[in-house]
Structure 1
Amino acid sequence: MVSLPFLLLAGVLVVATSFALAWPLRAQRGLFAGIVVAVPVFALSLYSLVGTPAGLEPAQRETPRTLAEAIARLEADLERDPRQAEGWRLLGRAYREEERAEDARDAFARAAKLAPEDVGAQLEYAESRAQADPRSHFDEEAIAILEGVLRDDPDQERARLFLGIARRQAGRDAEAAEIWEPLLPGLGPEAAAGLREQIDLARQAGGLPPLDRSGADAPAAAATEGVRVHVALDPEFAARVRLDPRASVFVIARIPGGPPMPVAAQKRSVAELPLRLTLGDGDSPMPTQKLSELSEVEILARISSSGSATPQEGDIASKAVRVALPSSDIVELTLGADH
């Protein structure tokens, strides 16, 4: 039987965590948009958890009012039965959402130890070690995990991405470029252009010529899938308001007049503004609802100083723009125009 606290916490976290790309280095996030596949919906991964009798108590059936309350219930459940790898992963993600990097690392470590054959658990642990590092660097243990995953599965994209970053951090630039290059064929035009730029920088630092670009960008613009979006701050607003560069910027697509759950979303930071991105099926938090299956969406952006994916008082939002799909136009969103 599935333990109810796990389900409750999953319900609280699913919207928030689906916005975040699995990403160890904030400074690199804008350049590698679209590379990391959206985090799977937590509720669908909980089928393997073992329930406890305490989960049947009336108090446990009440929906937690805050993330902190949900985390406390999950911590208590894991204290009763610490052998649940998926529970530790869920707790690690919750800690990460609260920016408790060291606690998240320790929770992911428990999950990785309990599930040594689970590639997802190993990658989350390696990533969490970089997030908990003061310099956001992958240490020797994290690198060993990434190397092991790639030895077993050379097509594992997240491991390849992270290992390339680790090589670059260590000054092994030519190796970083070599590790990243196999990722290019599987990327969309915008993400490929960003990665190609980083590969060229790494090759230059490693004493190598840039990549051969002949024909690389030919049909890119016409073949772009998804919705292209440009997000910028209103100039007058930017001149009189000082924003925290670390504040989160959420760019979402939703069904006009439909439920608040987005059909596609990306999380960036104020420091990246102005920014360009493409929302596509890979950004969907719900695998059963794809952007490409819709005829019309509403696109908007929102600045959240708290980092929460749930709209809160004080957030700065753009006007929503309705877009008929498929669309080759760039959606222009302006933040702060009404403030």
Structure 2
Amino acid sequence: MNAPLKRPKLALAPASPQFINCHQASAQGPAPDVAHELAEGLNAVAASVAPKYFYDALGSQLFETITQLDEYYPTRTEAGIFDTAYRSIAETVAGAGIKQPCLIDLGAGNCAKAAKLIPYLKPKQYVPVDISADFLRDAAEQVQTTFPALDIVGIGMDFSAELALPPQVQRRDRVFFYPGSSLGNFSPDQALTFLQQMVDPAQGAARGLLLGIDLVKDKTTLEAAYDDALGVTAAFNKNLLRHVNTLLGSDFDVRQWRHLALFNETESRIEMYLQAQRNLMVHWPGGERAFRGGERIHTENSCKYTVASMTALLRRAGFTQISYWTDPKDWFAVFWASV
């Protein structure tokens, strides 16, 4: 008698991350709120463009290059802290009663930092959030390949404007992950408001926060980190003007602008600018602005904290139990704060 034929086992299709784009301009032109914000900033007495507009696809790639530069110490210093503290961090999170968190990765970029954290925190859901939606979509798919069983919900959104997350994000045991000292882009008052939104049960509903913060250090080291010898940070800063052209329909010529990075010791922050190299006029639909030679557009602040000042800020926001880890030079700190 012939043996019965065995049916071949069907391979299960690999999981795919969900993706929700809450930040999508119309193909017919800029979103009205984006155009208004950009025009208002350019028309201000001291012209400015918010640093969130650095991150189109090219800007995101340029920033990834910046993180590999010799002068840019924050990324490798923060990575060194995590490499030595992953187990301690996981134990601290578990000690707060959080066993399978929803890990919400703000400004996720290429998701590489969270990918190293996931095996230790073992989240039930991973939620990478970034304003650069296309870049994020590709990164989320890479994370899904590495962790095929993980529930991943990628969100393209401007979380600096509002922290309310879509209903696909689980509310239980939310842990926000905000590395890279990106909180420093906010002024201290803005940072307090943002952290309060994170704690607010009607918005972020956070149980905890894992936060990377750059600490105060000497001016020479700080300024070199934002004005590297290869000019990658300059290209990153100037690319903002290309992105504004796309979003606003303006006619900035990047060749007419110079990158500047200065440490303001009084405010304890790096300030980045684009400086007009001659008198020029910039136009966009419904508006224009004359710039004098030497006049600046303010593109970024990066506030630097001490352990004491950041601890105080977290407590004012509503976080209670606070721990931190630093590198041997005390150049950078990773904070854990629970509610």
> For this structure pair, what is the TM-score category when the shorter chain's length is used for normalisation?
under 0.3
Q: If each structure's helix is expressed as a fraction of its own residues, which one has the higher value?
A: 1
- Structure holding more strand per residue: 2
Looking at CA atoms only, which structure, 1 or 2, has the larger radius of gyration? Answer: 2
Q: Which has the higher contact order (CA 8 A, sep 6+)?
A: 2
Q: Could you tell me the TM-score, scaled by structure 2's length?
A: 0.26
TM-score when scaled to structure 1?
A: 0.26
